[in-house]
Structure 1
């Protein structure tokens, strides 16, 4: 077979059946001519003579010839390939319509499997001085697919958004219902009714906090905010939105049967207005376990300052003043409050000290209020070993004198610096109460008194306070003094000449509180109570005269 590999200047190979020259090609359709083109700097180019189309490539192996086809500038039929051995490739061509508002179609005239059909329509948006880029409008099938795709996408997005919104709405409603359930179960309606109907509730205490407020205040009850833990719960330091520092008590658990009593206690505590009782600012009842919000007392517990390892130890005068303040607060709770309250857990860790080291009785988690004519409270035994009244432990009947016994242990701690329960002492004297009473019986009292107290206090003061401790720790509750008598005797020791400065400080601080109105009806009958009680009805006119003349 004859083959020629001649080229025409542009390195395009011209294989058989194409050829340049007479008689070298297989037929007229395959004749190639080589001519100069002025647009290509005079270099010759091969052309298919019958079509006058520039040849760009010939590939005999796949039966393909690539030509430079002209751009149509007018609407007409182009059927020059109709009788030729050539057809347009149905997969190697890019059929493009140039310009705007034009349409074109390309159809194969062969009735075989190689037939094909192309339709192109180009539209443009006319602009001033120009036109916006052309686009090809989609076919009806394409349009249907686009509409289905967009509709499906929006449908999926709508379902996702609707599902998310529904989830948030259901979750929010569930939380609201849960809060309402807890609020009702925790006696919120009863508490609101009692607080709103009472004329003697401290306005500042008449506040119901939301769970969100307290979560934000305590940084979601962060462990770093814990001030202390007790049998009734954990106390956290918090900051309210008004930047006030508070203490938030979160109970461990509360008996549902006692919730009404809890509400009553909150109401009673909100009525207490005594500077030596930690002030209750409000509560939160929309959580599973109610939260109590108290004023923040910065200097920690009394127990901390009785520890030998503490660099700052309380002076004798400070100890005596703190004892007098706590005694006055307990007398107020027992006798002067509108409804008597038994604290039931008096101990050094439940006595806080403020910035001036004034005493603040706290932790009323186990406290109970009683009727004025009620003499005792029959309950399950609760308390802290070392402070627990043995008579109460045996009978399960808590009386006013049970708090007196616990205070006697606190007073013994102030005198000796010893802990209520210590493993350093013998088994028989492991309890400070027993240790103290045995020392007095054996005439060894001054051997157990704290060194700082021995240096600063007079002998008669120590003996007076020690005798008071002995009477408070009497195993028979009937033989113990009332908190009124305890407060009076401590006031007498505090008024001794060497303690005059402490008395003046105490009275001056009290004098600022005389405008406080109490609901007590029995304080006016007492004319000789401790001047450490800061509410007006708890002070007799004779004490007021002594303070004004001091």
Structure 2
């Protein structure tokens, strides 16, 4: 019957008859819908499972990160000199000191951490660095443990002091003394129109102080154990100045220990462009001469007020070390100096610093040791301060009782004064644990 109605011979009357093509289409639609729904449900279940797995792995990784740091630090503190062992802060103390990590307390940011100005319960102001939780635990644990291990072994008036740490579930943090006058980089390059507030006298003073800190690290830092510490991250951004413009060397996350029976160790040199020793970048061998090179670049910065690396300059002039070496080689070293700082009255001393910087930037086997560099700078400072009557103006790098000495000191006198200087400011005894050193070897890029 036309219209799709047929009579049922069974006596049940008429019923609707769908065309065969339409019935097949509906069935296929139902099948497709079921398949699609099944796929969506399966995908949702898999997605939830993956997210759950990732959450569990993240929690396990965080707990492992905290446990690893605490375990290694426990070993370290059991072996460290009791008078130098850093204080272990709780997460609650750290949170309270930073107003629960209030943004208004932030004084610095990096790729792996944020630095806060903290106030402890005894009202002392400190610098608190909190590592970010999204940084891989392997990297953070090595940086964290390395800084705590290195800084807790040393004590020097020109090295930032580690006061304590926190390795609780709230994340790793380092608590250091607060240095309130910015970095050397800011004072040289961060002032408007290049008008640096640092005079030649002040720049010499800073150079003497940082060279003394590096010499202290390299020369077995006191030593019953005869080991050397290499900073491997020396640059003007890692030199802090206090309100009296006294310099402090900071940031020891790249630092390594060299045992007494070795002069170098294997490793990749990483740091800021312009400061890295080109020889070690190729050879993958690290030594104290890397710090000598980097310090040489800082000396050139102090003399020229130019940045160690400037990407805005033509390709052949971006690196300050090469530009400086070429200028000295061509006999026009005086043209590269900062004319606002270097004048007729200090040109002779500046020339001596130029020669010293040149030797620091030479080939590794021709570079002086940090002790030689520090000694020469101290003699220059002594001569300059005596000639200008500046010894009483806190220019001398030596203790007050040595200010009465007249004339240029001999090396023997300087060594005697240095010994008194180190004892006066409390040289700490180091220890060396080979198994621990293996655990804290790091090779990471800068924050």
TM-score (norm 1): 0.58
Pairing 1:198-209 to 2, within 5 Å after superposition: 198-199=80-81, 201-202=83-84, 206-209=86-89
SS at match of 1:250: strand
Pair 381,336 (structure 1): closer, same or farther in 2 beyond 3 Å: closer
Pair 230,326 (structure 1): closer, same or farther in 2 beyond 3 Å: farther
Q: How far off its partner does 1:495 sit? A: 1.0
Q: How far off its partner does 1:350 sit? A: 0.4
Pairing 1:325-336 to 2, within 5 Å after superposition: 325-336=209-220
On the 8 A contact 1:316/1:456 being kept in 2, the answer is no
Aligned residues: 349
Structure number with the higher strand fraction is 1
On the 8 A contact 1:381/1:396 being kept in 2, the answer is yes
Aligned to 2:95: 215
Match of 1:285 among 157, 167, 192: 167
TM-score (norm 2): 0.70
On the 8 A contact 2:398/2:418 being kept in 1, the answer is no
Give yes or no for the alignment of 1:492 onto 2:375: no
Distance 2:206 2:322 in 1: 23
Structure number with the higher helix fraction is 2
Q: Report which structure shows greater RCO (CA 8 Å, sep ≥6).
A: 2
Match of 2:259 among 354, 358, 371: 371
Q: Max radius of gyration: which structure? A: 1
Aligned to 1:535: 422
Give yes or no for the alignment of 1:388 onto 2:276: yes
Distance 1:396 1:501 in 2: 44
Aligned to 1:479: 366
Aligned to 1:266: 148
Q: How far off its partner does 1:373 sit? A: 2.0
Aligned to 2:129: 249
Pair 450,326 (structure 1): closer, same or farther in 2 beyond 3 Å: same
Match of 1:409 among 274, 294, 297: 297
Give yes or no for the alignment of 1:184 onto 2:184: no
SS at match of 2:318: coil
SS at match of 2:316: coil
Pairing 1:379-528 to 2, within 5 Å after superposition: 379-455=267-343, 457-474=345-362, 476-496=363-383, 497-502=386-391, 505-507=394-396, 510-511=399-400, 528=414
For structure 1, the 5+ residue unaligned runs are 1-176, 514-524, 540-550
Render the CA deviation track for 1:392-436: whole Å, top value 9, x for unaligned: 111111111011111011000000000111245332111000111
Pair 239,490 (structure 1): closer, same or farther in 2 beyond 3 Å: same
Q: How far off its partner does 1:255 sit? A: 5.2
Distance 2:262 2:412 in 1: 20
Pair 447,353 (structure 1): closer, same or farther in 2 beyond 3 Å: same
Q: How far off its partner does 1:459 sit? A: 2.3
Distance 1:472 1:530 in 2: 25
Pair 378,231 (structure 1): closer, same or farther in 2 beyond 3 Å: farther
Distance 1:227 1:438 in 2: 38
Pair 312,368 (structure 1): closer, same or farther in 2 beyond 3 Å: same
Q: How far off its partner does 1:380 sit? A: 2.8
Deviates more, 1:323-332 or 1:309-318: 309-318
Q: How far off its partner does 1:233 sit? A: 3.0
